[in-house]
Structure 1
Amino acid sequence: MMKVLKKYRNSFLVGCIFISMSAFGQENQVLEEKAIVKVDSLYREDQFYFALSYNSLVNTPTGVSQNKFSSGVSLGFVRDMPINANRTWAIATGLGFTYNNFNQNLIVKEQNGVVDYQLIPADVSVDKNKFSQLSVDVPIELRWRTSNYESHKFWRIYTGLKFSYLLYDRSLFNGSQERIVVQNNADFNALQYGTYLAAGYNTVNLYMYYGLNPLFQKATLNGASVNMRAFNLGVIFYIL
């Protein structure tokens, strides 16, 4: 009898251990599944960005042309807000700063509070002639990407509008006979906006921006309005 009881007791203990291990394994599996769902449901592409661009002017008045290399730099942060279940589509907005300069042949002069514009005469030797702008930016974009929470190497296409408020501007003419500096020119549009596109793979992407409104709001050259707009082409880097 004792042998039989001992046999049943051992079988009972083995069964309890097996049931406990099975339940523990199922519990771990449930927890892992819950963890995966939780991580995936919180996944977003919040990013810092840094862009370098070549700046050109379009819709220029007759006689206005660019010379030398005109560059721009932008940096900021974008908040990502997914709009579909697998989080491949999103809208995003953020805050950033841009510094642009444009080398060209339009002299900006100011006398007694009046700003005047004229082309550089052909017989004048010029070392530098440009205007520069520093602005604060608010981008609003629609995003498509192939990313997920496990990998940050993916294809992307981001496009949208960027609104820029002018914080500071400076026009500089440095010639053989005189040096002219004009700052905070009220003829510039304080609010500038345009459309942009960023596309590529992983960290480095191509970037393009086109201004939808003119850089100047009331400048004239030889009686005609100066309606130049910015077109910037370069690369943009996204960093998580």
Structure 2
Amino acid sequence: MRYVILFFFIGFLSFGQTFNDGSNDERYFEDQFYLGLSYNFLLNHPEGSNQRNLSYGLSAGLIKDIPINPRGTYAIGIGAGIALNSYYSNLVANLSGDAIVYSIEDNITRSKLETHLIEFPVELRWRNSTIEEYKFWRIYTGIKAAYVAGARSKFVSDTASDGFYNTDLSKFQYGLTLSFGYNTFNLHAYYALTNLFDGKASVNNEILQYKPLRIGLIFYIL
């Protein structure tokens, strides 16, 4: 909760700015809140594993805009935010003493891994907006780093259900991002360059090497 309070406190202190010193320098700041909704794919499934149900992601944050050319069409964006991502599959996690043991089960209702992240996006931004025009085309590309603040595994079958906090994920993750679109509605993609798990987790003697791919919509709000 303290991360949420800190995040919104920073947001309230931030504001968009413009400046024009009378020359041809018309740079301006496109400081923006963002809201994201995605479908989450898992790449590099172990043998026998597959996705099920609707794996989804939610994110929100603030990006500080730093223009780098006189017209302000190019900029660097540096931000911070929070995210929740759920991954449904037939991979089941069970707690055995202090160890987490994985198995692949088909006779289950659902099995979910949920992660809570603090994110830090850095973007190279192009847009054809002006100081007066707030509806414009944009292409933003960059990298997003994240710290896994918490994770939880849960499975439900016809006869049992169980859930616990998961500790064998990679605590620091990062990947490539791409957003493009017009005005508020934009397509967004994230491709992980790091594995979801820490490199020690395995199923049937196969190391888990899942890499998330998230595709969806991102909404930018000035």
TM-score, normalization by structure 2: 0.87
**Residue in 1 aligned with 2:191?**
210
Q: Gaps spanning 5+ residues in structure 1: where?
A: 1-33
> Matched residue pairs, number?
203
Q: How far apart, CA to CA, are the structure 2 residues paired with 1:136 and 1:209?
A: 15
**Residue in 2 aligned with 1:143?**
125
Structure 1 runs of 4+ off > 2 angstroms?
Answer: 34-38
* Identity across matched positions, percent: 40
Q: How far apart, CA to CA, are the structure 2 residues paired with 1:82 and 1:42?
A: 6
How far off its partner does 1:128 sit? Answer: 2.0
**Residue in 2 aligned with 1:47?**
32
- The structure carrying a bigger helix percent of its residues is 1
How far off its partner does 1:36 sit? Answer: 7.6
How far off its partner does 1:178 sit? Answer: 1.6
Q: Tell me the alpha carbon deviations over residues 33-52 of structure 1, each in whole angstroms, 9 at most, x when there is no partner.
A: x97849x7461110000010
Q: 5 Å matches for 1:2-13?
A: none
Structure 2 residue 102 is matched with structure 1 residue 117: yes
**Residue in 2 aligned with 1:168?**
150
Q: Tell me the alpha carbon deviations over residues 140-176 of structure 1, each in whole angstroms, 9 at most, x when there is no partner.
A: 1100000111101111000100001011111001111
**Residue in 2 aligned with 1:128?**
110
Q: Match of 2:85, as an amino acid? A: N
Q: How far apart, CA to CA, are the structure 2 residues paired with 1:41 and 1:154?
A: 16
Closer, same or farther: CA 35–223 of 1 in aligned 2, 3 Å: closer
Structure 2 residue 220 is matched with structure 1 residue 238: yes
Q: How far apart, CA to CA, are the structure 1 residues paired with 2:22 and 2:88?
A: 53
Q: How far apart, CA to CA, are the structure 2 residues paired with 1:115 and 1:63?
A: 19
Q: How far apart, CA to CA, are the structure 2 residues paired with 1:35 and 1:144?
A: 20
Secondary structure class of the residue paired with 2:144: strand
Q: How far apart, CA to CA, are the structure 1 residues paired with 2:128 and 2:61?
A: 23
**Residue in 2 aligned with 1:186?**
167
Structure number with larger C-alpha Rg: 1
**Residue in 2 aligned with 1:81?**
66
Q: 5 Å matches for 1:14-93?
A: 37=22, 41=26, 43-93=28-78
Closer, same or farther: CA 45–208 of 1 in aligned 2, 3 Å: same
Q: Gaps spanning 5+ residues in structure 2: where?
A: 1-18
Please report the RMSD computed on the Cα atoms of aligned residues, expressed in angstroms: 1.7
Q: Match of 1:156, as an amino acid? A: R
